[in-house]
Amino acid sequence: MNISHTLTARFPGSKCEHCPLTNPSSQGAQNRRRFAHNGAARASSPLFVEASLRQLIEASALPGQGVASTTSVSAALELIASLEPENEAQAALAVHVACLHTASLNVLSRTNSIGERNMIAMATACAKLEHAFHSAIETYYRVKRGVTQIVRVERVEVQPGAQAVIGVVARE
């Protein structure tokens, strides 16, 4: 992969030779195929893949750059692929997780070039984004695994004259 190559269209909707989503030989088109293939859209429509990839490209623009680099988009795609979404709902949450992660890292990287007065605001924004990122990951895994509840009883007292059942009890 050519790391120095940047995606040249900020809003890829035109049919131009430099557009990363419409030119089949571009890195962006390869990313679209990779996004669709890596589980992020196993059951997804092409429109969902297109919209999700556009959101990723917008969120992956690094500080000081007008457009996203293939490195930042590829990193977001790898994060999505590692989550292994199985349907559109999980894919949408995985894209959200990747966008939040990219945004928090972008805010964190900007703290080097700002004054002390703005440092607190940037640190607060980064902390809020990280909290949202962790909440989104928890939500993703809750949706993926389903909700299960385990009740563990640690102590049972049976008074004289009372009855108790020990074992698995199922209601019919």
pLDDT tens, the chain, 172 aa long: 223 333 333 333 333 343 444 444 555 566 566 666 555 545 468 888 888 888 888 888 876 677 787 888 888 889 999 999 988 889 999 999 999 999 888 888 888 778 777 888 888 999 999 999 999 999 999 999 887 778 887 888 888 998 887 777 777 7
Give the pLDDT score at 63. 66
Contact of 102 with 60, CB cutoff 8 Å? yes
On whether residue 159 sits in a domain, the answer given is: no
On whether residue 41 sits in a domain, the answer given is: yes
On whether residue 6 sits in a domain, the answer given is: no
- Is the pTM higher than 0.85? The answer reads no
On whether residue 97 sits in a domain, the answer given is: yes
On whether residue 169 sits in a domain, the answer given is: no
How many domains is the chain built from? 1
On whether residue 115 sits in a domain, the answer given is: yes
Range of the domain at 62: 27-145
Separation CA 55–CA 60 (nearest Å): 8
